[in-house]
Amino acid sequence: MAGKVTAQGTGILLVTANVGSLFEDPENLQKTWLREFYQTVHLYKPHFVAVHCQEVGGKNYEESMSHVDSFIKELLSSDAMKEYTRARVYLDENFKSQEHFTALGSCYFLHDSLKNIHQFDFKAKKYKKVTGKEIYSDTLESTPMLEKEKFPQEYFPECKWSRKGFIRTRWALTDCAFDLVNIHLFHDASNLVAWEKSPSVYSGTRQKALGYVMDRITDQRFEKVPYFVFGDFNFRLDSKQVVESLCSSATMQTVRAADTNEVHKLIFREVDNDRKVVLQLEKKLFSYINQDVFRENNGTLLLEYDRELSVFKDRLNELEISFPPSYPYSEDSSQGKQYMNTRCPAWCDRILMSSSAKDLILKPENEDKTVIYDNIGPNVCMGDHKPVFLSFRIAAGAVMSWEALPKVREDFARSRPVRTGQREREKRGERRNHDPN
């Protein structure tokens, strides 16, 4: 599938996917999702695939555990991924621990032709060679090959119990090292609250949490390396300004609850044209008269209201967005392009990177477009989120030479050869590892 690593560099595919819907309707949605994912892998032929999942198990996590296991088993054993002979899967399945549970899943697949790939052990502070297929679940807190944190409850006091946090892994391949951070930030609890002021109170909450992650992954505990942060950031458009734009010639009617006198609904009507309703806004309703505005030209006319990342412009980079808002799509398997009338469509799912990570990406030469930032399954139902991917190549010597990574070289030299029998066992199937130590 993926050719040998050449002078063109090492092919990388990063994918972020909020997969909560897949476990609500596994019969219909999982098959479609997997088919579209496999097609993406086949098209770009990467050597290294990283899939960051959020809401693993869906809302009814306790009932959906078996669906998670079958989903992961399919990914690891499918014919489409047979040339990816090494894998690491980290699933936060410990839903009984409110203190730690994030429902994040980070899956990494390594092509057979990819040599000399190492993963960082955060406890031993050294790189270890990656062999075989392993799944880690339950108590990821004790797994030294990653860092995982759930955001403190005071970060999002409106929510009694959230599953928001991040997982960080570090990799060294060919001649560079980088961090991959799976992240899930807080959502907008109420459309009415989000509309009240610009920027919304929710964007401030997300800003605080993302700032925490940025400080954490760039602190002094470990050597600084380029990083990619990708997940469900829950970034929303500036609701107040979007509504003002969409309803510029409309009048607003406020409907209050009879018992509390709190605002229950906002109705925007055209001044003439029989006072046709343009937009209805409730806590969990965003019903606009014409969804095409979010799809025409991939919704890029609304990108001017996508401002939450601007606070981090000195720390995080993003390639140009040329795909429609990734959320909230209909979960009806026959409505692949339709948005739900629950929230204002927004680019929640993103792949961001440090300046040094951006420099790692091999620049396209002439007409050869080797860097692609897009969504998966644009015409079919993938759940309420469309997965977003970044395909690129890391050029040989793009940023750091092998000589600039003495720690990696030292650990590489110490890597013990795997016994033949052990290698054969690993080729036959993955090891499920609940005790990584």
Give the model's pLDDT for residue 268.
97
Both tokens of residue 164? 């928001």
- Integer Cα distance of 32 and 381 in angstroms: 7
- Decide if 437 is inside a domain: no
Number of CB atoms found within 10 A of residue 35's CB: 13
- Decide if 266 is inside a domain: no
- How many domains are contained in the chain? 1
Task: Give the number of C-alpha atoms closer than 13 A to the C-alpha of residue 246, restricted to the C-beta side.
Answer: 31
- Decide if 255 is inside a domain: no
Q: Got the DSSP string for 191-250?
A: HHHHHHSSS-HHHHHHHHHHHHHHHHHTSTTS----EEEEEE------HHHHHHHHTTTE
Give the model's pLDDT for residue 9.
82
Chain center to CA of 388: 7
Give the model's pLDDT for residue 4.
52
- Decide if 23 is inside a domain: yes
Give the model's pLDDT for residue 155.
75
Task: Domain of residue 348: give its range.
Answer: 10-236+290-432
In the beta sheet, which residues pair with residue 431? Answer: 134
The list of the chain residues with pLDDT below 50 reads 3, 366-367, 399-404, 415-437
**Residue 59 near residue 20, CB atoms below 8 Å:** yes
Give the model's pLDDT for residue 411.
55
- Decide if 162 is inside a domain: yes
Phi, psi of 173, rounded to the nearest 5 degrees: -140, 155
Give the model's pLDDT for residue 77.
95
Give the model's pLDDT for residue 435.
39
Give the model's pLDDT for residue 78.
97
CATH of the domain at 406: 3.60.10.10
- Decide if 106 is inside a domain: yes
- Decide if 3 is inside a domain: no
Task: Give the number of C-alpha atoms closer than 13 A to the C-alpha of residue 395, restricted to the C-beta side.
Answer: 15
- Decide if 285 is inside a domain: no
